Amino acid sequence: MIHVVTPYGRNGPSSRVRVFEWLDRVSAPRVLSTYIGHHNSRPSELAGKPAALLAAERRLRAIAAERPERLLLHREASPLSRGGLERRLIASSAASVYDFDDALQCDWGEGGLLRRIAPKAPKAQIAVKAVDRVIAGNPLLADWAARHNRDVVVIPSCVDPAAYLHKRDYRVGDPPRLGWIGSADNETYLELVAPALREVHRRTGARLTLIGTTRPTLGELEALIDRVAWSEDTQRVALAELDVGIAPVPDQPYTRGKCGYKLLQYAAAGTPVVASPVGVNRRILADLGMPAADGVDEWVDALLELLSCSADERAARGRRSREVARAHYSYDAWLPAWTQAVGLSVDGT
């Protein structure tokens, strides 16, 4: 029996990618706690669900009281905890693993009051020091974790290429279709490349499909945007309809710890991509054979280059991307490593 504690439900990107998709692939008996089962833990969401909040806190303490044989803790147990609950869960379990996929050690609660009262950084450090093993989403995170724990393994955030519609027609649309997928919290990253997007629109008429929230937040840039509501089914189809995916990221301590998941989603669909060479993005772009861009001029040049390639060349790049995703960043490729890391066999026992 393995007890799995993650802060979000399946619609939370981090929990879905780092927990739910793995559990879908094993048959081990498990007790799963997703706090209130929501896709985020913003104070506005928590405040409106006091009964669910109380039930979640009681459930986590009950798990600790059960003294689990195996514990997999992803990111944090509770957004209200300052680290004591995480320490208690870990201490109560016979074997414990901590998994994280962001630079939580840099998250000291910038933002609202709850974030300042219960920042993620001290919880991450407590967990990394206390567990038997750490699973880090990339080498940068692993380097930090290794300062506090001797047993650290790297398992990337993976994709399932078979679950995505593969791009078949590589002729550029009229107008060309750029695309971005992500949460509302990260939409501001698009402002980094707004001048480049406007210039490419001026030259080619290109528009941007935004797969996420349907609520406009990007001011004048919204004139170029067509919004599509996110769902698991939508993302698996919509990415193949893009001509070029984009993934701008600011170069900051927190963002350097990200795991490049957007790039892998575009790759799974066989869609060409341009991204900022921040953190692990640089390595993934090199593996995929896709351009990195830093600054407005580089973004304009990279987008125009991918849009001006022949359909055959774009198709060849798409095939390479899918092959790389399957061989190096897929759940199938990493399943033996993940099951070993969490103390399960491949058949889930």
| Structural contact between residues 307 and 334, judged by C-beta atoms closer than 8 angstroms | no
Length of the chain equals 349
pTM of the model: 0.94
Amino acid letter at 168? R
Residue 180: phi and psi, rounded to 5, are -145, 140
| Structural contact between residues 73 and 90, judged by C-beta atoms closer than 8 angstroms | yes
Beta strand pairing status for 225-229 and 2-5?
A: unpaired
Task: Give me the pLDDT at residue 39, please.
Answer: 83
Task: Name the token pair of 238.
Answer: 């919509």
Task: Name the token pair of 172.
Answer: 């550029």
Beta strand pairing status for 225-229 and 177-181?
A: unpaired
* Measured CA distances, 220 to 197, 198, 202 (Å): 12, 10, 14
| Structural contact between residues 291 and 302, judged by C-beta atoms closer than 8 angstroms | yes
Q: Which parts of the chain have pLDDT scores under 50?
A: none
Residue 205's nearest CA partner among 180, 178, 179 is: 178
Catalogue all structural domains in the chain, each as residue range(s) with its CATH number.
Answer: 2-158+331-342 (3.40.50), 161-328 (3.40.50.2000)
Encode pLDDT of 304-331 as tens digits. 999 999 999 999 999 999 999 999 999 9
Largest CA distance in the chain: 63
The full DSSP string for 195-242 is HHHHHHHHHH--EEEEEE--S--SGGGGGGEEEEE--HHHHHHHGGG-
E strand or H helix that includes residue 121: helix 120-130
Distant-in-sequence contacts of 65-68, Cβ < 8 A, 24+ apart: 65/92, 66/3, 66/92, 67/92, 67/93, 67/94, 68/1, 68/2, 68/3, 68/31, 68/92, 68/93, 68/94
